[in-house]
Amino acid sequence: MGHVSLERLTYNREIIHVGEYVLEIITYPHPTLRHKSKPIKRVDTALREVVREMFELMYEAKGVGLAANQVDLPIRLFVVNLEADPAKGEELVFINPVIRMPKGTEENEEGCLSLPGLYGNVVRPKKVRINAYNLQGEEINADVEGLFSRVVQHETDHLDGVLFIDRMTESAKVDIDGELDMFETEFKSRRETGGVPNDAVIAARLSEWEAKYC
Ligand SMILES: [Zn+2]
């Protein structure tokens, strides 16, 4: 399950510029949040810069995890620091994550940097095993629970185009309908004023990244 793609990962130390692309956290309902990310086949200097930048954006937003789709990139990786603070905790990078062996269930409140200010309860497996690679090409194999388990599940969902609001119960979703409408209205107006490109432009950029890394 997913292991073959992990083993095809190659590491390339040549310098490739990210170009003019500036990373920022995109918000619901940006279409890239619904894009299913493809496995990464190579890691280069530009990708390491992207990861560094993702940590910075995550800290600015006081988050504990950030997936590549959330910075409008279609690649299968996410970053985590459970302390949300560069001076504390451990910076972890998960490339091509695969979640297996779910055990138990647990309900807890979640939020998301792509839905700022919105919170809701989500039921998820209590413990999972996560298998991935880090930036050095070392395999990560960990049995996780508590906040760590919830974060890796939330972030892996992002890579599949799934948001935590999709996993809320129907009755809980009714409570956030108004807030989602506000996100949608704001996104529409940002688009109309040129703050967000149209779907075709976004799709073309995602294809370019996929051609380079996937
Ligand atoms: Zn999120």
Q: Tell me the CA–centroid distance for residue 102 and ligand 1, in Å.
A: 20
Please count the other Cβ atoms lying within 10 Å of the Cβ belonging to residue 75.
25
pLDDT 10s digits, 38-90: 999 999 988 999 999 999 999 999 999 999 999 999 999 999 999 999 999 99
The domain ranges of the chain are 3-213
Among candidate residues 60, 155, 192, 210, the one labeled active-site is 155
DSSP state of 37: P
Place of tokens 């779907």: 199
Tell me the pLDDT tens digit for each residue of 82-110.
999 999 999 999 999 999 999 999 999 99
b/e burial code for range 149-165 (CB count within 10 A of at least 16 → b)? bbbbbbbbbbbeebbbb
- pLDDT tens digit sequence for 165-201: 999 988 888 999 999 999 999 999 999 998 899 999 9
Three-state DSSP class for 73?
Answer: coil
Q: How far is the CA of 14 from the centre of ligand 1 (A)?
A: 31
Q: Ligand 1 mean position to 110 CA, how many Å? A: 9
| Cα 22 to ligand 1 centroid, rounded to whole Å | 20
Contact 104, 10 (CB under 8 A): no
Which residues, 6 or more positions from 152, have their beta carbon under 8 angstroms from its beta carbon?
Answer: 65, 80, 94, 97, 99, 128, 130, 144
pTM over the 0.75 mark: yes
**pLDDT at residue number 195:** 87
The superfamily CATH assigns to domain 3-213 is Peptide deformylase (3.90.45.10)
Residue ranges with CB less than 5 Å from ion ligand 1: 112
Active site residue 208: no
